Structure 1
C-alpha cells in the first residue's frame, strides 16, 4: 500500500503548524516580511526532499506553501517565497528545472496572489476555502494543458492521476486554510482582550493603562504636551440629575473631545470626570488656541437631558522640556495647572510654571 500522499500531507501540515507558531512570535512587521518568504521557501524544499515512489499517481506538494503565502500575503511574499526552492532545484541540476520552477513555483505564486484580498492584511479576515479550491483547479487545468501540448497520446492513467492530484492538493490546501483561520481566531480573541484591557468601559476611550503605554514610547523620542481636562461641577450634576445622567454626560463629553482633538494626538479617560490628552504641539500659542477650541466644543454642546448648553471644562497644560522627560512628572505638572484653573474660576486653561506662577485665561 502506497502511503506517499499521506506522508506528504502530514509533513505539510506539521510544517504549517510550526510556521504559524513562529509567526505569532514575530510582532515586528519587518521581521514578518522577511520570515514569511524564508519559512515558505524552506517548507517547499522540505516537500521536495520527501521521496516519491515510482508508481505513485501523486506529485510532491512543494507548491502548497507558496499558494498559502500568495493567498494570505499577496504577490510580493509569494514571489519571494519561490527564490529558495528555485535556487535549490538549480543547485540539484534537475533536468528541465526552469520549466518545473515555472509550473510548480512561479505559476502557483502568481495565481494564488490573484485571490489575495486587501482585508487579509489586517489579520482580522479569514481566507475563503473556495479560493483554495479555485487555485488548485486552475493549476490542474494549466498542468493538463501543458501535458496535452507536449504528449501526443494521453492514457486513462494520466487523467486519473490529474483528478486524484486535484482532489488531494485541494484537500491539503483546505487543511492549511482551516489551520490558519483557526489560529487567526485565537489571535483575534487575544487582540480583543488586549484592547478591552486598555479601554474604558463607560466612554469607550482608551483607559490610563493604554494611554501610558503610548505616551511612554512617544515621550522618549520627542517633546510633547500633556493636557489634563476636568468637567466642571460634575459632582453637583450627578447629585442633581443622578448617576445615569452623569454617566451619559461622561460618554458624550468623551466622544465630543475625541472628535475635537487633532488626528495625531491621543486622548484617554484618566478617571472619574477627568480626561487626558497627549499633544504633539509644544508651542504655547498653538496650545492656547487648542485648549480654547476644546473648551468651546464642550460649552456650546447641549448634552442629553440639558435644556440649554452650558457644561464647561477646565484644563491644565504641561510641556516637556526635551525628549525623554519623565512622563509621570509631566502628568503631575498638568494636574497642578488644572488645579489652578479650577481655583481661578473654572472654564479656563492654565499652563504649568516651575515658579508656581500660572498663566490663566478665561
Structure 2
C-alpha cells in the first residue's frame, strides 16, 4: 500500500519540475501573486486524485505543494494556495473533509510560512534543507497527536504508518527544495551573465551593446538626441599619472554623468575615454542648458585623481528629425560634433547642425 504515496511523490516531483520551468516565464513573474496559488492549488488536487486504500495511510502528500509555497512566498501565498484544494474537498463531500483541510492545507500553510525567509522574496536566496525536515517533523507530530487523541486506541501499525509517511514526506520535500535551489542558482547565474554582458566592467555603466539595444528600441518610438562625451586631455593624463589613475578618473566621470543626466535618459560607456548619452530631449534650447550642465558638473567635481587642474569634457550633440531615424547616423553626427568641440577649445558642447551653419 505504500506504493501509492511513493507514486504520488514521483508525481509531485514531476509537477514541481514543470512549475519551476514556468516560474521564470514573463507571465509568471508579472502575475506571481495569482499564478503561484493557482498552480499550487492545482498540484494539491492532482495529488488527491489517487485515493489511499481504506484510508489506512495518513496522507497522500497533497500538503507538500503548500509547504513549498509557504517556504518560498510566506503566509499570504500559502494560505491562498490552500483555498482551491479546500474548495475541492468541500465539493466532493469527502468524509471528515474538515480534517483533510486542516491537516493537509491550513496547518501546513501556517507552519511552513513560519520558516519563510524575507531574502527568498527576491528570488536571490536558497531554501535551507533543514527547514523542510523541521516542517515535515512538526506536521508529523501534529498528526500523531490529533489522530491519537481521536482514536484513543493506538497500535504499532498506527505509529509505523506515520513514520513511513514522515520519511516519504521528508524525502519528497527535500527533493523539491533541491530542485528549487538548483533552478534558482541557474536563474541567478543567467541574470549575472546577462548583467556582465551588458555592463562595462570598469565603470559599472551599461556598455555599448546595451546602449545600442536600448537606443535602437527607443528611436523607433520617438525622436531622440545623442550626446558623445569625451574626457579632455585624457591621454596626457594617462601618460603622466599612469593607467590606474586613468581608470579611476574614468570611473569618477562615469558616476558624475550617471548622476547628472535626466531621469529618463541613458548613459553608457562608448569606449576608451568616451561616453554616450541617449536623451529624450530634442529642443535645442533645452539641450544647450543640458550640455552646459554636464560640462559644469564634471568641471566642478574635485577629483581625487587629479589634484592640479579640473577635469573637463567635450560634448557633441546630434538630434533626430523624427522617430525611426537612423541610429548609426546620429551617433556619427554626434561624434563629428564632438571633434568640433575639441577643435574649438574643449570643455564645451557643439550641435552637429551648427558645424555647417557656421556657429560651431
Q: For the superposition of Structure 1 and Structure 2, which TM-score range results when normalised by the shorter chain?
A: 0.7 to 0.9
Question: Residues of 1 paired with 2:41 and 2:171: CA distance?
Answer: 21
Question: Residues of 2 paired with 1:356 and 1:145: CA distance?
Answer: 89
TM-score by length of 1: 0.84
1:69 to partner: Cα distance: 1.9
**Bigger Cα displacement from structure 2, 146-155 vs 193-202:** 146-155
Contact 1:299 1:309 in 2 (8 A): no
3-state SS of paired residue (2:227): strand
Q: What residue is the counterpart of 1:273 in the other structure?
A: 273
1:153 to partner: Cα distance: 4.2
Deviations 1:247-297 (A, max 9, x none): 333233223333444554432101121111234555555544443333233
Q: Residue 128 in 1 paired to residue 140 in 2?
A: no
Question: Residues of 2 paired with 1:349 and 1:167: CA distance?
Answer: 72
Question: Residues of 2 paired with 1:329 and 1:110: CA distance?
Answer: 61
Question: Residues of 2 paired with 1:5 and 1:176: CA distance?
Answer: 15
- Residues 1-362 of structure 1 aligned to structure 2 (within 5 Å): 2-26=2-26, 29-54=29-54, 56-148=56-148, 150-221=150-221, 224-282=224-282, 284=284, 286-303=286-303, 305-320=305-320, 325-353=325-353, 356-357=356-357
**Bigger Cα displacement from structure 2, 255-264 vs 270-279:** 255-264
Deviations 1:29-58 (A, max 9, x none): 225554433332222122112242337544
Deviations 1:92-124 (A, max 9, x none): 332233442243123323432343333223221
TM-score by length of 2: 0.84
Contact 2:8 2:60 in 1 (8 A): yes
Question: Residues of 1 paired with 2:140 and 2:28: CA distance?
Answer: 37
Deviations 1:294-352 (A, max 9, x none): 32332233445533232210122345556655544443443343233223221012344
Judging changes above 3 Å, is the alpha-carbon distance between structure 1 residues 250 and 178 closer, same or farther for their aligned structure 2 residues?
same
Question: Residues of 1 paired with 2:93 and 2:44: CA distance?
Answer: 17
3-state SS of paired residue (1:20): helix
1:125 to partner: Cα distance: 1.0
Question: Residues of 2 paired with 1:34 and 1:158: CA distance?
Answer: 39
CA RMSD of aligned residues (A): 3.2
Question: Residues of 2 paired with 1:144 and 1:163: CA distance?
Answer: 10
**Bigger Cα displacement from structure 2, 164-173 vs 177-186:** 164-173
Question: Residues of 1 paired with 2:224 and 2:28: CA distance?
Answer: 25
Contact 2:23 2:29 in 1 (8 A): no
Question: Residues of 2 paired with 1:27 and 1:201: CA distance?
Answer: 32
3-state SS of paired residue (1:193): helix
Judging changes above 3 Å, is the alpha-carbon distance between structure 1 residues 127 and 336 closer, same or farther for their aligned structure 2 residues?
same
3-state SS of paired residue (1:338): helix
3-state SS of paired residue (2:316): strand
1:72 to partner: Cα distance: 1.4
Question: Residues of 1 paired with 2:322 and 2:140: CA distance?
Answer: 63
Contact 1:2 1:56 in 2 (8 A): no
**Bigger Cα displacement from structure 2, 212-221 vs 307-316:** 212-221
1:190 to partner: Cα distance: 1.6
Judging changes above 3 Å, is the alpha-carbon distance between structure 1 residues 148 and 220 closer, same or farther for their aligned structure 2 residues?
farther
Contact 1:301 1:309 in 2 (8 A): no
Judging changes above 3 Å, is the alpha-carbon distance between structure 1 residues 187 and 3 closer, same or farther for their aligned structure 2 residues?
same
> Runs of 5+ in structure 1 lacking a partner?
none
